[in-house]
Structure 1
Amino acid sequence: MIHLNTYGWNDKLNQLKQESAYKALSHGRVTVVHRTCYEVISESGLHQCELTGNMMFGKSDFELPCMGDWVIFQPFDENKGIIVDMLPRERILYRKKSGTIADKQAIASYVDKAFIVQSLDDNFNIRRAERFMVQILEEKIKPILVLNKADLDFDKQKIEEHVKHIAHQMPVFFTSIHQPQTILQLREFIAKGETVVFVGSSGVGKSSLVNALCEKSVLLTSDISVSTGKGRHTSTRREMVLMDASGVLIDTPGVREFGLAIDDPDSLAKMLEISDFTESCRFKDCEHINEPGCAVLEAVNCGILDPKVYESYLKLRKEAWHFSTSEHEKRKRDKSFSKLVDEVKKRKANL
């Protein structure tokens, strides 16, 4: 028998299940998502599950189960099942769906911590780390910056200078699979029953870190490319693995683009540690671009605020504002359409 509390099952989730019409059926957590089916871990083992027609065709892509979701399913045959319901999500890590204006793509749910992994070579990019961080904080998930491949030659003082403006929002770890003590420190940061997702670009060593944390080979890894000197992309899908006597780890494929899906652009000032300046502006509705009495611009001109951090803030705010505005209009259209459908149903009922 598998104890699902090691996968994060708790009293709150049990209460949510009792509110479902399918509470008498089995429950489990999605560990792998394939195109048309899902691997679900339950007390009786791993099941290959498909969706009911109502779920498959009655929900948007974003509403369909994703990695980490807790679902209720009807078992049949040997290790097979049909998913009939999904418990309400919490702490969802998502991003703006590529090629869309306001659609979101769910990466994982019920996430406690997110490890933003970058390698200490040409991959290091503080702007990319900021982007991941603000999206993670938006969903009340704890971000952690993991600077991997610390066995390489790098200027630690310079790196710490680059990350100081976001270090108050998240711990920073320097790690290397060739330095066991650094892995131990990271492992001690993961509590039993917690779910940790690894995000970052290709070749930064996410899969190798997962293997090192588990102290065994659970994910495929690749050697360093001879031609580029960089790590090769290994993960092609999201995978969940269980650490012995500890938490749940989710490895994700490397991403080139991570579009923001934030509903509150104003939250960015606090995340990037410039809210003290914004609160001192002459005008409450200051856009921090060219207004008189702008404390943010003054801080940049005086060298107190890094111009690159300021430019990143403007870029991320514009992107977040565009998404939130488009999302608002999308919800407004959906609400109007639902109202129209209800009116048509009422007319048919009265005929």
Structure 2
Amino acid sequence: MNELNRYGWNEMLNQLKQESIHRALSHGRVTIVHRTCYEVISGDGLFQCELTGSMMYGKSASELPCVGDWVIFQSFDDDKGIIVDMLPRQRTMYRKKNGTVSDKQAIAAYVDKAFIVQSLDDNFNVRRAERFIAQILEEDIEPVFVLNKADLDFNRQRIDEAIKHLTRQIPVFITSIRQPQTILRLRESITEGETVVFVGSSGVGKSSLVNALCEKPMLVTSNISQSTGKGRHTSTRREMILMDGSGVLIDTPGVREFGLTIDNPDSLAEMLEISDYAEACRFSDCKHIDEPGCAVLEAVDSGLLDHKVYESFLKLRREAWHFSVSEHEKRKKDKSFSRLVDEMKKQKGSF
């Protein structure tokens, strides 16, 4: 098999490349992003690449290449190149950039599955998992919930009860690098040519899981902290790893906050099983807050719908709606500015 096929290259991507004016040049996939340098794997090996000025200054931060992107580059020397174009992104995982209202950050592109990793200690937080799942489904990526460090003492009944609404929607794995059979089951869920991104908080064991899946140390990990009993954060960058005879893994640094960049807040209803009850509401445009005849509120009152799940739905919907409105206003301002620049150019040309 061609080396790039193992990284996910296929005929569909080849067709996209043929639409570029740079189609005669080399292509490859971004494996690591440094500040201004990109490591790109191609059919001719690994290249250290930089961006053309037009790409660097002509695109917003979220549009610049990220790990997983397929790029076209002009090579020079034996292992250096200049990225001149990107193939259109698909299945890209984003998050809202910290400290902004509507700016977003690309985490990884051309992702097939996202492993949402939490550890079975104080890190376990089903509300945080719902947030990740909502964003992942928005980009047509398959979410997988991985509960790691199963060798720790934990209340299995409490965990099962907390995630029962998720287990009906997505695959859930309980893993430990000290229990090889749990790693084997997770490895079997990854197919050749498939790209899997690992997301979650610091110290949950994402890098250790990657190493266990690859059956050899590929990423640096830290020992357990003696003072807190938790793993220390190690990953400082997003990095792509090729599994022998299987798929592609992307490890990511731990995140403390994960803001939504969802354009369609109503999509949350299906993910949290709200839509199962919403169909029976008296009004088709029911917001499920205080309307008469709301079947969702009736389900909450009767205990059929977990009140915490309902509260999570309202919170995520409110956040998604706020981002959607802010993004819309930002686009309007960008269009207005572009029109102003065009008018100034026309006026300048008339003199």
- Classify the TM-score, shorter chain: over 0.9
Single out whichever of 116-125 and 165-174 deviates more from structure 2. 165-174
Q: Quote the Cα distance in structure 2 between the aligned partners of 1:285 and 1:343.
A: 42
Match of 2:74 in 1: 74
**3-state DSSP class of the match of 2:212?**
helix
Q: State how 1:58-97 maps to structure 2 within 5 Å.
A: 58-97=58-97
Shift of 1:333: 1.3
Match of 1:134 in 2: 134
CA contact (8 A) 1:148 1:205 kept: yes
Shift of 1:153: 1.6
**3-state DSSP class of the match of 2:167?**
coil
Q: State how 1:163-174 maps to structure 2 within 5 Å.
A: 163-174=163-174
Shift of 1:343: 2.6
Instruction: Please tell me the residue identity of whatever aligns with 2:308.
Output: K
**3-state DSSP class of the match of 1:288?**
coil
Match of 1:152 in 2: 152
CA contact (8 A) 1:265 1:321 kept: yes
Shift of 1:164: 1.0
Gaps of 5+ in 2: none
**3-state DSSP class of the match of 2:209?**
helix
Is 1:175 equivalent to 2:175 in the alignment?
yes
Shift of 1:303: 1.0
Match of 2:55 in 1: 55
Shift of 1:347: 3.2
**3-state DSSP class of the match of 1:30?**
strand
Q: Quote the Cα distance in structure 2 between the aligned partners of 1:19 and 1:28.
A: 16
Q: State how 1:1-351 maps to structure 2 within 5 Å.
A: 3-351=3-351
TM-score normalised per structure 1? 0.98
**3-state DSSP class of the match of 1:219?**
coil
Q: Quote the Cα distance in structure 1 between the aligned partners of 2:274 and 2:318.
A: 16
- Deviation per residue, 1:46-89 (Å, 9 max, x gap): 11100011111111101110110000111111201100111100
Q: Quote the Cα distance in structure 1 between the aligned partners of 2:68 and 2:29.
A: 6
Single out whichever of 341-350 and 23-32 deviates more from structure 2. 341-350
Instruction: Please tell me the residue identity of whatever aligns with 1:191.
Output: T
Shift of 1:188: 0.6
Instruction: Please tell me the residue identity of whatever aligns with 1:291.
Output: E
Shift of 1:331: 1.0
Q: Quote the Cα distance in structure 2 between the aligned partners of 1:39 and 1:268.
A: 36
Q: Quote the Cα distance in structure 1 between the aligned partners of 2:58 and 2:257.
A: 29
Q: Quote the Cα distance in structure 1 between the aligned partners of 2:143 and 2:35.
A: 29
**3-state DSSP class of the match of 2:46?**
strand
Instruction: Please tell me the residue identity of whatever aligns with 2:65.
Output: P
Shift of 1:341: 2.2
- Deviation per residue, 1:187-218 (Å, 9 max, x gap): 11001000000000001000000000000000
Q: Quote the Cα distance in structure 1 between the aligned partners of 2:13 and 2:157.
A: 45
Q: Quote the Cα distance in structure 1 between the aligned partners of 2:179 and 2:219.
A: 19
Instruction: Please tell me the residue identity of whatever aligns with 2:136.
Output: I
Q: Quote the Cα distance in structure 1 between the aligned partners of 2:274 and 2:58.
A: 43
Q: Quote the Cα distance in structure 2 between the aligned partners of 1:305 and 1:32.
A: 43
- Deviation per residue, 1:149-181 (Å, 9 max, x gap): 111122222211111112222100011111111
Q: Quote the Cα distance in structure 2 between the aligned partners of 1:345 and 1:184.
A: 62
Instruction: Please tell me the residue identity of whatever aligns with 1:324.
Output: S
Q: Quote the Cα distance in structure 1 between the aligned partners of 2:263 and 2:337.
A: 22
Shift of 1:2: 6.2
In percent, how many aligned pairs have the same letter? 77
**3-state DSSP class of the match of 1:137?**
helix
RMSD: 1.2
Q: Quote the Cα distance in structure 2 between the aligned partners of 1:247 and 1:62.
A: 26
Report the number of matched residues.
Answer: 351
Q: Quote the Cα distance in structure 1 between the aligned partners of 2:208 and 2:72.
A: 33
- Deviation per residue, 1:263-312 (Å, 9 max, x gap): 00011110101102112111222221122111111111111111111111
Instruction: Please tell me the residue identity of whatever aligns with 1:282.
Output: R
Q: Quote the Cα distance in structure 2 between the aligned partners of 1:111 and 1:31.
A: 13
Q: Quote the Cα distance in structure 1 between the aligned partners of 2:343 and 2:169.
A: 48
- Deviation per residue, 1:109-133 (Å, 9 max, x gap): 0000000001111110000000000
CA contact (8 A) 1:2 1:45 kept: no
Single out whichever of 150-159 and 74-83 deviates more from structure 2. 150-159
TM-score normalised per structure 2? 0.98
Q: Quote the Cα distance in structure 1 between the aligned partners of 2:18 and 2:264.
A: 33
CA 1:171–1:269 in 2, change beyond 3 Å: closer, same or farther? same
Gaps of 5+ in 1: none
